[in-house]
Amino acid sequence: MISQAIPEASIYQPRPAKLIRTEAIAEREKLFEFEFRDGGELGHKPGQFVEISLFGIGEMPNSISSSPTKNCSFELAVRNVGNVTSALHGLTEGSTVGIRGPFGNGFPIDKLKGNDILIVAGGIGLFPLRSLINYVLDKRSDFGRLMILSGSRTPQERMFVSELEKWQERRDMELLETVDRGDEKWTGNVGVVTTLFPKVDIDPQNTFAITVGPPVMYKFVVAECKKKAIADEQILLSLERRMKCGVGKCGHCQINGVYVCQEGPVFSYAEIRKLEEAI
């Protein structure tokens, strides 16, 4: 008998995954934990994304929120904004979805090792950054300082509040928060996330700045990083909001010949500063 090699799983074929846990993390946002029904692992890197499909409804790209160190299951944080996300929010534990991926390049972990990391999160930009943060915390001795600047529009729109509180209590990381608009109970900083930059001192030679958030935020974060003398090669941004098919076929993510889903979604500012449409 002639043996045949088993072909690699098709990038177009979703793998069935079982929903094993949900958690409300804000008014319109939920965290979903899945495990593959075939017992396999996702095998992702922080910063990568997957395509999640609800059979008979549609498919959407979504960044991965859990660290690769979380074995056997993975987490996706999703805001309820459309047909697919609304149907996802309505699922009960035990339901099955389809998962393609992971796709994209993710954050350059090997380059980050041994360096200080300054993370700048705006709103739901914390979703993919949470994967990197928890990876760094699980591999703490591999990295230098971990500094997080996190911004939300209002106190009610803060994500992962219980985790933020735990991060505040840790002595091996630094967390600063701000909201655009406070209320009578908010006693923290008020202002956009870039107002937190003067509150941190860094060594620019050994610091990587990593930011994910609304596209309008990026040029202001980059400007603040450059004020801190961080090199363009050490400023990392994710253009994950441009994703659609995930495999470079639909052209939705294309920027002047660059397919973000293939070459990104993570880029250094040095790579995209000449792409005017990127940020």
> Among positive and negative, which fits the CA dihedral 134, 165, 118, 256?
positive
pLDDT tens digits for range 25-40: 988 999 999 999 999 9
pLDDT tens digits for range 57-109: 999 999 999 999 988 899 999 999 989 999 999 999 999 999 999 999 999 99
Residue the block writes with tokens 């505040």: 168
pLDDT tens digits for range 256-268: 778 888 888 999 9
What does the block give as tokens for 236? 């990392």
Q: What percent of the chain has pLDDT over 70?
A: 95
189-190 and 174-179 strand pairing: parallel
Looking at per-residue pLDDT, the higher value among 204 and 10 belongs to: 204
CATH code: domain 15-103 is 2.40.30.10
pLDDT, averaged across the chain: 92
164 and 176 Cβ atoms separated by less than 8 Å: no
Closest Cα partner for 73 from 54, 103, 89, 93?
93
What does the block give as tokens for 103? 């796709």
Residue the block writes with tokens 């991926």: 101
Mean pLDDT for 215-235 is 96
Same topology, domains 15-103 and 109-272? Answer is: no
- Please tell me the predicted confidence (pLDDT) of residue 258: 81
At residue 279 the predicted structure's pLDDT band, cuts being 50, 70 and 90, is low
Q: 213, exposed or middle or buried, with CB in 10 Å at 0-12, 13-18, 19+?
A: buried
Mean pLDDT for 13-35 is 95
- Please tell me the predicted confidence (pLDDT) of residue 71: 81
At residue 273 the predicted structure's pLDDT band, cuts being 50, 70 and 90, is confident
Q: Is the pLDDT of residue 47 over 80?
A: yes
Q: Which residues pair with 117 in a beta bridge?
A: 146, 208
Domain ranges of the chain: 15-103, 109-272
Closest Cα partner for 109 from 143, 148, 138?
143
For the chain, the C-alpha Rg in angstroms (whole number) is 19
- Please tell me the predicted confidence (pLDDT) of residue 277: 67
CA-CA distance, 127 to 43, in Å (whole number)? 18
At residue 156 the predicted structure's pLDDT band, cuts being 50, 70 and 90, is very high
Q: Selecting from 1.50.10.20, 3.40.50.80, 3.50.50.60, 3.20.10.10, what CATH number does the domain 109-272 have?
A: 3.40.50.80
Mean pLDDT for 203-215 is 96
CA-CA distance, 245 to 251, in Å (whole number)? 8
Extended strands (E) in 172-249 = 174-179, 189-190, 207-212, 235-238
At residue 7 the predicted structure's pLDDT band, cuts being 50, 70 and 90, is very low
